[in-house]
Chain A
Amino acid sequence: MALTMFRGIKCCPFSMYPSALVARKHVFLYCTMNNSPSQTATQDKAQANAKVSTQSKKMSKVAKDYEAIIGIETHVQLSTLTKAFCTCPYNYGSQPNSSVCPICMGLPGALPVLNSKVIEYAVRLGLALNCELSFNSKFDRKQYFYPDLPKGYQISQFDVPIATGGFIDLDLPVEFGGGHRKFGITRVHMEEDAGKLLHTGNGSFSQVDLNRAGVPLLEIVSEPDMRTGIEAAEYAAELQRMVRYLGISNGNMQEGSLRCDVNVSVRPWGQIEFGTKVEIKNLNSFSAMNRAIDFEIARQELLHSQGQADQIVQETRLWEEGAQKTVTMRKKEGLADYRYFPEPDLPAVNLTIKYVDDIRDSLPELPEMKRRRYETMGLSMQDILFLVNDMDVADFFDATIAKAADVKLAANWIMGDIAAYLKNEKLSINEVKLTPEELGELIASIKSGTISGKIGKEILFELLAKGGTVQGLIKEKDLVQACVFFYYRD
């Protein structure tokens, strides 16, 4: 089939693309960012903090007179086995146009058929974001021309999104002053991804890779509730945790599985109307989000304070990682008319109460629930945020304390020696030989005095690297503390 499919395709060069196309180049090339995929939001912040503080110094004078308003549109690529409307699999980084078919290439006569997993995942996220679900929803066509859009329209949702009116809870990191936040979610809707353009080095022609075309996305639109870069970055980080907890996406920013477009405007304190908003793209890490937003706020505040607020125009700006600043990508020439209308090739999406209830019952414990539970267990917010950041770590912790291990000690072991080991060995917690049961046993053995803390550490590294049981290792290495012998002799 693969062979015949290519008969119809001509991933064709179009010579001398316009300047807009050149500028757009950067938007699509997420892969040029060099953040390691394993970074966490918290690690990001530490670096961010230093840079922001220098920049904010010069702005500190004007900053208190203005208020920034930030809203975020996030695209989450769903980790379904096949694309949204055809049976092609999607694997990031595969050979260009190796995972395409008549449907995702938009060949004449091909029709979309919805992958039901997309609805399931959308409902999962809608519920997790405390949204109201639309039991009778539909798909619409969003129409525009671009070479990465094979059909000339994107199948999306317009006036009846699958979920609306939710919120997301999060706790800011302690190093940023801490505090609980609740940000509104305007809507969540389902749509398909576009392909990718590959530009040749000399710029004489471009090529289209349609592997990504038709991959399911959820677009999450926030209320304009964020006020600072760190709030925005934390919002995105919490969304990432959520989609990973829900198992609906790998949430990987470097691969483009989680993409954030940020709208920033600034207004004088007390003013009711919003200022002119500017959209920022090319944000490939939480740290970049944080820095880009704070830069943009400072830029706009400066213009306001100099009486040049009219210089702030509705436009899309790009974050330039090298220069650490935002630059104009394209000015908006009036509102784009996407000529939305209901997609006639797909029937309406109707949910039943039972379908939704079954999904609700299958939801895992979400990050916010975990944080509140750990809080009641007496853990500090710093510990809580560390543990909850990665669901596998949190699960490991939960399994450890399920065996009645001391909560604080378990947290310390996981965040201390185990985390250090994982970092050194570049492993995830699921890849080590140590089981939560044995960690519990280890903690219990130290607490009861069977072994010393120092020996416990030695055993820990054995367990991490080779596995085995605490009891086995104690016997094998004859590590029982001397005092215990005295005790028995008594």
Chain B
Amino acid sequence: MLLSSVQNPRLLYLQSRLSHFNFRIKSSLHTSQTLTLTPSPPPPTSQILDIRKTLLSREKTAVELAGDYLTRIQRSDPKLKSFLYVSEESVLREAEELDRKIERNEEVGPLAGVYVGVKDNICTADMPSTAGSRILENYKPAYDATAVSKMRESGAIVVGKTNMDEFGMGSSTEASAYQVTANPWDLSRVPGGSSGGSASAVSARQCVVSLGSDTGGSVRQPASFCGVVGLKPTYGRVSRYGLVAYASSLDVIGCFGSSVSDTGILLNAISGHDRHDATSSRREVPDFTSQFISKDILDSKPLKGLRVGVIRETLDEGVDAEIVMSIRAAVSHLEELGCTVTEVSLPSFSLGLPAYYILASSESSSNLSRYDGVRYGNQCESEELNSLYENTRAHGFGSEVKRRILMGTYALSAGYYDAYYKRAQQVRTLVRKSFKSALDENDILISPAAPSAAYKIGEKKDDPLAMYAGDIMTVNVNLAGLPALVLPCGLVEGGPAGLPVGLQMIGAAFDEEKLLKVGHIFEQTLQDCCFVPPIAADN
């Protein structure tokens, strides 16, 4: 997993790339097609490998690195509000421990000194985990989620907990009970959701990589909005133990990174069977980074023979023209790399959205029953039992959560079950089948990650249906349980520096390796795009 593209071991590369940034943005907003006169910025490098080099060469200590990140958080988070909790004390303590290890020349894990943000619905034993909800205010879990403990075993240092829509229910992070996170590209815009905090933290370089969760697009859509790489693994690839359940049959823990390599390295660390999760797969976990090829040794058609299907329904009406253009440009880029690109149709595509909202709401109405104020979380004093439940839940849950609990309770009620839940399960089977046949014909499928770039804060807050419609690109993948990688492929007009657009690549079940390989080549060969937001340059 050596990347020879890692040439600049110092973190200064950020600045070096940013120096080109503002200059180019005006001339080339959309894609790689428009050429500029400036030299092309270097493709993103692996921050994880950079840190490793920096630490092992004793160029910087882990404590110094921690200071860099903490300072950046201190400066930018009052504006961004990516984090609900930052654990300075434990970060410095763990960094000191790491420095001692390095001093003694001890073996350090693949994520040593990697500062990670963890979405607030993933349990961490030493930090509060509220899932963005008032009902779990100050709740500190008794245990680490499996993904977190695996990261820690690999040497990662958890910086803090990132903001999210309450229980993952939302697409803009505006449904957080605590704060609204801003998009690092334009502070007046949303970072996407529900893992908006994790996406904006990586985008603004407040942490190296982060964990999110994806039930209907909650990793991929914010990755697209914030111009970072987001990976939703196959259902069952990563243990859900310790992930606060929203919709159990759809939930997966996913990864954010500023490069495909970082995302792959993080996935390596958290994947695999877990005896605490009966739905986690026993499949062997390959080294997801072993397929990465350095840009320097790529031949002219590195993806020759790769069959790529563009999902026709995702470029139809309702998708912003600029987004369609960006995706078309990405298609040209893939063709230049040697791919055979054809259009495929998924007839059940439009059915996915209503089916998703029925299934996810149904499961959530059940999963959220445990927040009754009896054992943990906020409890409202009451005179009798029913009002204890009513008051606790009325005050503890936000309106979007209540809306989904109501919808789900309705869909599961006697007399309605067949018309809603059962029907939606049948649609799910159809969706799975149509993906299966499309992926028999193609190696990967591509689509936008969202029908638009980041929108303004407040723009859709009071229109839940418009908000739901924004999930059209991603929910089908969850229904089918497939892996998908979102990576920035272009910029569109908007904000002070343009707004990033994400390309979604969907693969066959458990074939994250192929997605990462293709994504890596795409990223390394993409010209004239630099996906570092202005706020990261300010710091």
- B362 close to A145 (CB less than 8 A): no
B385 pairs with A14, CB closer than 8 A: yes
Distance of A111 Cα from B277 Cα, bound (Å): 6
Taking CB as reference atom, which chain A residue is nearest B414?
A: A337
Report yes or no: A18 in contact with B141, Cβ–Cβ below 8 A.
no
Which one, B278, B362, B374, B381, contacts A147 given CB within 8 A? Answer: B374
Interface residues of A in 96-155 (CB under 8 A from B): 102, 105-114, 141, 143, 145, 147, 150-153
Inter-chain contacts of B383 with A (CB < 8 A): 15-16
- Known A-B contacts A10-B375, A145-B389, A347-B279; the reply to A107 vs B141 at CB < 8 A is yes
Q: A residues within 8 A CB of B241?
A: 109-111
> Which B186-224 residues have C-beta < 8 A from chain A?
none
A426 CB–B CB distance under 8 Å: no
Known: A14-B382, A14-B385. A8 touches B409 (CB 8 A): no
Interface: B384 (CB within 8 A): yes
Interface contact B374-A12, CB-CB below 8 Å? yes
User: Per DSSP, are chain B's interface residues mostly helix, strand or loop, or mixed?
Assistant: loop
**A297 contacts B by Cβ under 8 Å:** no
A107 to chain B: which residues have CB within 8 Å? 141-143, 375-376
Instruction: Check A9–B277 contact: CB distance below 8 A.
Output: no
Contact A111 B142 (CB under 8 A): no
B129 interface hit (Cβ, 8 Å): yes
Query: B247 contacts which chain A residues (CB < 8 A)?
Result: 344
| Chain B residues positioned under 8 Å from A489 (CB to CB) | none
- Note all chain A residues with C-beta closer than 8 A to B421: 341
A417 contacts the other chain (CB 8 A): no
Q: How far is the CA of A154 from the CA of B245 in the complex (A)?
A: 16
Kindly supply a per-residue 1/0 record for chain B positions 257-298, scoring 1 wherever the CB is within 8 Å of any chain A CB and 0 otherwise.
000000000000000000111110000000000000000000
- Tell me, yes or no, whether A17 is within 8 Å of chain B by CB: yes
Minimal beta-carbon separation of B32 from chain A (angstroms): 42
Q: Which of A114, A339, A345 has the most CB of B within 10 A?
A: A339
Q: Which of B275, B278, B369, B385 is A112 in contact with, Cβ under 8 Å?
A: B278
Residue numbers in B under 8 Å from A112 (CB-CB):
278
Residues of chain B within 8 A (CB-CB) of A150 are 370, 374-375
Q: Say whether A11 faces chain B, with CB atoms less than 8 Å apart.
A: yes
CB contact between A345 and one of B278, B368, B384, B388 (< 8 Å): that residue? B278
**B368-424 CB contacts (< 8 Å) to partner A:** 368-370, 372-376, 379, 381-386, 388-389, 409, 412-414, 417, 421
A344–B141 Cα distance when bound, in Å, is: 23
Bound-complex Cα distance A20 to B386 (A)? 11
Q: Which listed residue (A105, A110, A141, A347) contacts B366, Cβ 8 A?
A: A141
> Is A309 close to B, CB under 8 A?
no
Alpha-carbon distance A6/B382, docked complex (angstroms) = 24
Known: A108-B136, A152-B369. A11 touches B375 (CB 8 A): yes
Cα–Cα distance between A15 and B275 once the two chains are bound (Å):
39
Interface string of B464-479 (1 = CB under 8 A from A): 0000000000000000
Partner of A152, one of B131, B145, B370: B370
Given contacts A14-B388, A15-B382, contact A109 B244 (CB under 8 A): yes
Closest-by-CB residue of A relative to B381 is A15
- Nearest to B277 among chain A residues (CB) is A111
Size bracket of the B interface: 35 or more
How many angstroms between the C-alpha atoms of A335 and B415 in the bound complex? 12
B240 touches A (CB below 8 Å): yes
Q: Report if B357 contacts A (CB, 8 A).
A: no
Q: In this complex, what residue of B is CB-closest to A2?
A: B142
Given contacts A16-B383, A153-B369, contact A8 B412 (CB under 8 A): no
Say whether A7 faces chain B, with CB atoms less than 8 Å apart.
yes
> What residues on B are CB-neighbors of A108 within 8 Å?
123, 129, 131, 136, 139, 141, 244-245, 370
Asked if B374 and A8 sit within 8 Å, CB to CB, the answer is: no
Q: Is the CB of A18 within 8 A of B386?
A: yes
User: Quick one: which of A12, A152, A153 has the most chain B CB within 10 A?
Assistant: A152
Please give me the residue from chain B that is nearest to A4 by CB atom.
B142
* Cα–Cα, bound, A4→B141 (Å): 9
Using known A-B contacts A8-B142, A102-B143, determine if residue A109 contacts B366 with beta carbons closer than 8 Å.
no
Q: List residues of B (110-159) whose CB comes within 8 Å of A's CBs.
A: 121-123, 125, 129, 131, 136, 139-143, 145
- CB-CB < 8 A to B125: which residues of A? 4
Interface positions, chain B 234-248, Cβ under 8 Å from A, are: 240-245, 247-248
By the criterion CB–CB under 8 Å, are B409 and A16 in contact?
Answer: no
| Secondary structure dominating the interface of A | loop
What's the Cα separation between A335 and B409 when bound, in Å?
16
Q: Which residues of A are found within 8 Å of B122, using beta-carbon distances? A: 109
**B363 at interface by CB-CB < 8 Å:** yes
**Docked complex Cα distance between A124 and B275 (Å):** 26
Size category of the binding interface on chain A? 35 or more
A379–B335 alpha-carbon span in the complex (Å): 89
Residues B277 and A151 in contact, CB atoms below 8 Å apart:
no
Is residue B90 within 8 Å, beta carbon to beta carbon, of the partner chain?
no
Contacts of B143 in A (CB 8 A): 4-5, 102, 107
Complex Cα–Cα for A16 and B375 (A): 17
**CA of A153 to CA of B409, assembled, Å:** 13
Bound CA span A349–B125, Å: 33
A 330-358 binary contact with B (CB < 8 Å = 1; else 0) = 00000101011100111100000000000
**Given A108-B123, A111-B240, A111-B241, is A8 in contact with B139 using a C-beta cutoff of 8 Å?**
yes
CB contacts (< 8 Å) of A152 on chain B: these are 366, 368-370, 372
B434, CB-defined interface residue at 8 Å: no
Q: How far is the CB of B65 from chain A (nearest CB, A)?
A: 30
Instruction: Tell me whether B249 is interfacial, beta carbon within 8 Å.
Output: yes
Residues of A within 8 A of B121 (CB): 109
| B145 interface neighbour in A11, A17, A109, Cβ under 8 Å | A109
B374 surroundings in chain A (CB, below 8 A): 10, 12, 14, 147, 150, 208
Which partner residue on chain B sits nearest A105 by CB separation?
Answer: B375
Flag A70-95 by CB within 8 Å of B: 1 or 0 each. 00000000000000000000000000
Task: Name the residue among B279, B376, B414 with the largest chain A CB count within 10 angstroms.
Answer: B376
A21 at the interface (CB under 8 A from B): yes
Whether B140 lies near A113 (C-beta < 8 A) is no
Residue from A4, A102, A114 in contact with B278 in the complex, judged by beta carbons closer than 8 Å: A114
Query: Known: A17-B385, A147-B385. Is A8-B140 also a contact (CB below 8 A)?
Result: yes
Contact B278 A346 (CB under 8 A): yes
Cβ contacts under 8 Å, A153 to chain B: 366, 369
A7–B143 alpha-carbon span in the complex (Å): 10
A341 partner residues in chain B, CB cutoff 8 A:
362-363, 366, 412, 417, 421
Closest to A16 in B: B383
Q: Point out which of B276, B374, B414 has the most chain A C-beta atoms below 10 A from its C-beta.
A: B374
Q: How many angstroms from the CA of A14 to the CA of B390 in the assembled complex? A: 13
A residues near B245, Cβ cutoff 8 Å: 108-109, 111, 345
Separation of A15 and B382 alpha carbons in the complex (Å): 7
Residues of B within 8 A of A141 (CB): 366
Central interface residue in B142, B413, B417, by most chain A CB within 10 Å? B142
Q: Is the CB of B145 within 8 A of A344?
A: no
B382 and A7 contacting across the interface, CB-CB below 8 Å: no
**Which A341-380 residues sit within 8 Å CB-CB of chain B?**
341, 344-347
The reply to whether B142 and A7 contact each other, CB–CB distance below 8 Å, is yes
User: 20 other contacts beyond A5-B143, A16-B383, A341-B362, with CB at 8 A cut-off?
Assistant: A4-B143, A10-B375, A17-B384, A18-B384, A107-B142, A108-B131, A108-B136, A108-B139, A109-B245, A111-B278, A111-B279, A143-B369, A145-B372, A151-B370, A152-B366, A152-B369, A339-B409, A339-B414, A344-B279, A345-B245
Question: Interface on A for B, CB 8 Å cutoff?
Answer: 4-12, 14-18, 20-21, 102, 105-114, 141, 143, 145, 147, 150-153, 208, 335, 337, 339-341, 344-347
B: which residues have CB within 8 A of A? 121-123, 125, 129, 131, 136, 139-143, 145, 240-245, 247-249, 275-279, 362-363, 365-366, 368-370, 372-376, 379, 381-386, 388-389, 409, 412-414, 417, 421
Can you list 15 contacts pairing A with B, beta carbon distance less than 8 Å? A8-B375, A21-B385, A102-B143, A105-B375, A106-B370, A107-B376, A108-B129, A108-B245, A110-B242, A111-B279, A114-B278, A153-B366, A340-B412, A341-B366, A345-B278
